[in-house]
Amino acid sequence: MIEETKEPAIDSLEQAKSSWFWIKNSKGEASATITFTTIAFVVTTFAYVASIFESIGPVSFRAFDAAACSAYFVPILTLYFGRRWTEAKKGL
């Protein structure tokens, strides 16, 4: 008979130390996709708000480039919704 080997459970303290920088999902688990999506949203929102002003003091801003922000934000948003769909479909 073949014996099943179980992997040791990860200590919650160890898990907390290794994933302190990830944003937690609705289940309380650390999620890289939510973290990347949040960062992408903040970056594109900052680029949009900064482009409203021509300059603030010595710092000048370029015009808002919707294509560049879309090329950055849409793939990450697709990753997020694809991950959510996969988790919902598999019941994870």
Answer for the pair 38, 25: CB distance below 8 angstroms, yes or no: no
Residue 41 lies in a domain: yes
Mean pLDDT in residue range 74-92: 88
User: Is the residue at 71 inside a domain?
Assistant: yes
pLDDT in tens, 24-82: 887 788 888 889 999 999 999 998 998 898 888 898 888 899 999 899 999 999 999 99
In Å, the largest CA–CA distance within the chain is 75
DSSP 58: T
Pairing label, strands 55-56, 30-31: unpaired
Question: What number of other Cβ atoms are within 10 A of residue 14's Cβ?
Answer: 10
Per-residue confidence band for 14, with pLDDT thresholds at 50, 70 and 90? low
8 located within any domain: no
Report the number of distinct structural domains present in the chain.
1
Tell me whether residue 7 is in a domain: no
Does residue 43 sit within a domain? yes
Q: Does residue 37 belong to any structural domain of this protein?
A: yes
pLDDT at 56: 86
The whole domain housing 45 covers: 29-90
Structure confidence at residue 9 (pLDDT):
55
Residue 51 in domain: yes
Residue 82 domain-assigned (yes or no): yes
